[in-house]
Amino acid sequence: MAFRYCRTIRFHETDAAGVVYFANVLTLCHEAYEAALGEAFIDVADFFSTSNPLPIPIVHAEASYFKPLRCGDKIAITLAPLRLTPYSYEVRYTLTYQQSGQQSRPETHLLTQSLSAAQSQNERPLATALTRHVCIDKTTRQKQIIDPRLDDWLNEPAAIAAPDD
Amino acid sequence: MAFRYCRTIRFHETDAAGVVYFANVLTLCHEAYEAALGEAFIDVADFFSTSNPLPIPIVHAEASYFKPLRCGDKIAITLAPLRLTPYSYEVRYTLTYQQSGQQSRPETHLLTQSLSAAQSQNERPLATALTRHVCIDKTTRQKQIIDPRLDDWLNEPAAIAAPDD
Amino acid sequence: MAFRYCRTIRFHETDAAGVVYFANVLTLCHEAYEAALGEAFIDVADFFSTSNPLPIPIVHAEASYFKPLRCGDKIAITLAPLRLTPYSYEVRYTLTYQQSGQQSRPETHLLTQSLSAAQSQNERPLATALTRHVCIDKTTRQKQIIDPRLDDWLNEPAAIAAPDD
Amino acid sequence: MAFRYCRTIRFHETDAAGVVYFANVLTLCHEAYEAALGEAFIDVADFFSTSNPLPIPIVHAEASYFKPLRCGDKIAITLAPLRLTPYSYEVRYTLTYQQSGQQSRPETHLLTQSLSAAQSQNERPLATALTRHVCIDKTTRQKQIIDPRLDDWLNEPAAIAAPDD
């Protein structure tokens, strides 16, 4: 399900070139992923801890950068998960400015919303990213079927893909 | 003026001991400082950039840690600035859990509020911190009088100290 | 030219899952890139500063993760640049453990060395990554030809690709 | 025992003000602490993991900043531990430039050396810091006596304090 996470860029995320350090864009995306899991009633402290017997680590990540982000910028990260196999999924992220004319959306009021075609055309992204995740047994590191408690989050038809939204 | 900033602890802020890495507590505090400056109509992008001719860098920072912070924890950082000299000020920070029974407060709805003695007694802090700042000329690195645009923020009697609030 | 950078994984690079946080792998790679530029007599302070009129920012980055990295692990990052156009280049990175039986190689004794086929077969990577860079005019953000001072670094036939090394 | 750790400042450690972000100075110091423990034959992966039954977390940290650090700067961190009680110790850190006229010292060739009074007078520090640590039971969080395997490291008279070294 598509999910929107809003954030203000902070000073520690910038570097001496005056803009957000490239790897921190992936960190921002992971924050949005954590927020999305939280909204889906996943306990993130357990989910990401060493005591989780079936962790779902990232096996691949990538990001493309279109415009620099500066300290104080108010950005929105829209993400949608996509199940790849019984063992794996991908999350795709789009970073935009929070739209002018809209109330800044608070971090903890995380809107789960469909994105109209109009909206996605109007907002040219600042960056895009994806993370690919595979569920493994913590001890053997063999592939495992993803915990069904994630099914709702993974299987719900992503509003973002609805043709006539 | 006392200021309250709310945040969810994110995975990248933790370390292999399962809790927030000690230096990241100071980063959380600086985020709260940035949010407070933003509320006081300071343009943080300019304020923290290399092109600011009169930066106010941190000359001393410290933190005391009372309880570990975990991924997903919802914390509040209360801060109050204190002018030390015409050239310098200190900011003191207190980290607590966001109070149960209260609505989680959004990042961007940053409440500037007085803190009653009752509240400060009820919430044992997770950590405390301070940062000390001195205004300098960027080129000569000599002390300079702080920009009067910060006066409102610095001079207003801190609600936190009001005895009968 | 292929370049090797050695590093010990530090505690702040790990997360609550007990291993290096995924985005930090790209940070480790960028450290190796900085070290390689330094060896090629590029002044990294100037190169990465806001005052560089022709910066070469990252437009794309990706990483694949094969094995987790832990605090204290001694790793080697081998990188080789590849010019793509007059305006752009790519850097590819391979992370391995520093080989047992070898002296740990110090950070500042950065060996520029060819990698034999044998060596690359013996060491299964921990992770691989790439960064893609485009030279732009800082003000107009239009593509620019890369500073010829980088030519030596970019054009030298990468020892890593030499068939009969 | 006094210990010296050398490092090149990396781009990700800087911020939009063009210098090392203040909290990262404490991270640099912790790296030096990890290196010192490693030299004292402590397994840092175990020492800092959640499975350590007697962790020694930081309860207080502070840093004072005298000069800005820039990308590419080659710095040395000298540290010395001081036992405070059977349960606690403090580590004090001094950051200087690596001395000109000296060979740059590699990260992994970590010299344990006495510092002459002359040397400490000649090098004005860039920053100083301290961290205070208390050994606790992981479960009860009650104070515990520090593992005697740290005794050598903690008890050896610090060469730095020797008057006629």
CA–CA distance, A28 with A69 (Å, rounded to integer): 12
Query: What's the pLDDT score for residue D157?
Result: 53
Query: What's the pLDDT score for residue C124?
Result: 85
* Positions of A marked catalytic: 15
B19, B27, B67, B126: which to substitute to probe chain D, counting the most D Cβ within 10 Å?
B27
Spell out the residues 6+ positions from residue C116 whose beta carbon is closer than 8 angstroms to its own.
Answer: C165
C11 has a pLDDT exceeding 80: yes
Q: For C96-109, b where at least 16 C-beta lie within 10 A, e where not — what string?
A: bebeeeeeebbbbe
Distance from CA of C164 to the nearest CA of B (A): 43
ipTM score of complex: 0.84
Joined together, the tokens standing for residue C5 give 């950078």
Q: Which residue in B41, B15, B24, B36 sits closest to B133, CA to CA?
A: B36
C133 has a pLDDT exceeding 70: yes
Tell me the pLDDT band of A2, cut-offs 50, 70 and 90. Answer: confident
Using H for helix, E for strand and C for coil, what is the string for C52-116? Answer: CCCCCCEEEEEEEECCCCCCCCEEEEEEEEEEEECCEEEEEEEEEECCCCCCCCCCCCCCCCCCC
Query: What's the pLDDT score for residue D105?
Result: 40
Higher pLDDT, A111 or D52: D52
Q: What is the mean pLDDT of chain D?
A: 85
Q: What is the mean pLDDT of chain B?
A: 85
Inter-chain touch A11–D21, beta carbons under 8 Å: yes
Inter-chain touch B59–D49, beta carbons under 8 Å: no
Mean pLDDT of the region A88-112? 66
C98 has a pLDDT exceeding 60: yes
Mean pLDDT of the region D93-107? 66
Spell out the residues 6+ positions from residue D157 whose beta carbon is closer than 8 angstroms to its own.
Answer: none
Tell me the pLDDT band of D107, cut-offs 50, 70 and 90. Answer: very low
Residue pair A154/A3 in contact by the 8 Å Cβ criterion: no
Helix (H) or strand (E) holding A138: none
Closest Cβ–Cβ partner in B7, B34, B72 for A44: B72
**C101: region left, alpha or beta (phi > 0 left; psi from -120 to 50 alpha):** left
Mean pLDDT of the region D12-29? 98
The neighbour count for residue B159, using CB atoms within 10 Å, is 16
Query: What's the pLDDT score for residue C155?
Result: 79
Residue C132 lies in a domain: yes
Mean pLDDT of the region C86-92? 97
Q: Calculate the CA B22 to chain-centre distance.
A: 16
Residue pair D3/D35 in contact by the 8 Å Cβ criterion: yes
Q: What is the mean pLDDT of chain C?
A: 85
Chain A: residue whose CA lies nearest to B10: A31
Query: What's the pLDDT score for residue C22?
Result: 98
The stretches of D40-161 forming alpha helices (DSSP H) are 44-47, 117-122, 151-155
Distance from CA of A103 to the nearest CA of C (A): 30
For chain D, give the longest Cα–Cα distance: 52
Read off the DSSP letter of residue C157. Answer: P
> Does B22 contact D at CB distance below 8 Å?
yes
Distance from CA of D104 to the nearest CA of A (A): 24
Q: Which residue in D59, D43, D81 sits closest to D143, CA to CA?
A: D59
CA–CA distance, C135 with C150 (Å, rounded to integer): 11
Strands (E) in chain D, as ranges, are: 3-8, 58-65, 74-85, 88-97, 127-134
Residues of D in contact with C55 (CB under 8 A): none
Query: What's the pLDDT score for residue D99?
Result: 75
Residue D113 lies in a domain: yes
CA dihedral (C85, C53, C93, A59) in degrees, to 10, reads: -100
Mean pLDDT of the region D101-116? 39
Inter-chain touch A17–C49, beta carbons under 8 Å: yes
Chain D: residue whose CA lies nearest to A18: D16
Spell out the residues 6+ positions from residue D37 whose beta carbon is closer than 8 angstroms to its own.
Answer: D44, D47, D153
The tens digit of pLDDT for each residue in B43-77 reads: 999 999 999 999 999 999 999 999 999 999 999 99
Residue C118 lies in a domain: yes
Q: How many domains does chain C have?
A: 1
Query: What's the pLDDT score for residue B122?
Result: 58
A105 has a pLDDT exceeding 90: no
3-state secondary structure of D52: coil
Phi first, then psi: give them for residue C101, nearest 5 degrees: 85, -10
> Does C79 contact A at CB distance below 8 Å?
no
Residues of C in contact with B21 (CB under 8 A): 11-12
Inter-chain touch A63–C62, beta carbons under 8 Å: yes
Inter-chain touch A11–B18, beta carbons under 8 Å: no
> Does B165 contact A at CB distance below 8 Å?
no
Residues of D in contact with A23 (CB under 8 A): 12
Query: What's the pLDDT score for residue B124?
Result: 85
The label of the residue with tokens 């493309």 reads A64
Chain A: residue whose CA lies nearest to B23: A12
Residue pair B68/D57 in contact by the 8 Å Cβ criterion: yes
C122 has a pLDDT exceeding 90: no
Phi first, then psi: give them for residue A51, nearest 5 degrees: -85, -5
Spell out the residues 6+ positions from residue D55 whose beta carbon is closer than 8 angstroms to its own.
Answer: B17, D48, D135, D136, D138
Q: Which residue in A138, A13, A95 sits closest to B10, CA to CA?
A: A13
Residues of A in contact with C26 (CB under 8 A): 22-23, 26, 61
C136 has a pLDDT exceeding 70: yes
Phi first, then psi: give them for residue C153, nearest 5 degrees: -65, -40
Q: Which residue in C81, C69, C90 sits closest to C25, CA to CA?
A: C69
Closest Cβ–Cβ partner in D27, D50, D59 for B23: D27
Residue pair B75/B69 in contact by the 8 Å Cβ criterion: yes
Distance from CA of A109 to the nearest CA of B (A): 7
Residue D164 lies in a domain: no
Mean pLDDT of the region B112-134? 70
Q: What spatial distance separates the first Cα and last Cα of chain C, rounded to whole Å?
A: 14
Range of the domain at A108: 2-154
> Does B163 contact D at CB distance below 8 Å?
no
Higher pLDDT, D114 or B1: B1
Residue B16 lies in a domain: yes
Residue pair D92/D80 in contact by the 8 Å Cβ criterion: yes
Mean pLDDT of the region B29-35? 98
Higher pLDDT, A106 or C134: C134
Query: What's the pLDDT score for residue C108?
Result: 33
Chain D: residue whose CA lies nearest to A49: D50
Mean pLDDT of the region C133-142? 96
Mean pLDDT of the region C107-119? 39
| Range from A3-17, B144-158, D41-55 carrying the lowest mean pLDDT | B144-158
Tell me the pLDDT band of A156, cut-offs 50, 70 and 90. Answer: low
Residue B76 lies in a domain: yes
Chain D: residue whose CA lies nearest to A69: D16
Inter-chain touch D15–A19, beta carbons under 8 Å: no
CATH of the domain at D77: 3.10.129.10
A75 has a pLDDT exceeding 70: yes
CA–CA distance, C148 with C157 (Å, rounded to integer): 16
Query: What's the pLDDT score for residue C145?
Result: 97
Tell me the pLDDT band of C164, cut-offs 50, 70 and 90. Answer: very low
CA–CA distance, C33 with C56 (Å, rounded to integer): 13
Residue pair A133/A58 in contact by the 8 Å Cβ criterion: yes
Residues of A in contact with B8 (CB under 8 A): 34-35, 38, 107-108
Residue pair A74/A5 in contact by the 8 Å Cβ criterion: no
Residue C97 lies in a domain: yes
pTM for this entry: 0.86
Residues of D in contact with C34 (CB under 8 A): 8, 10-11, 71-72
Residue C159 lies in a domain: no
Query: What's the pLDDT score for residue A157?
Result: 53
| Range from B80-89, C129-138, D89-98, D107-116 carrying the lowest mean pLDDT | D107-116
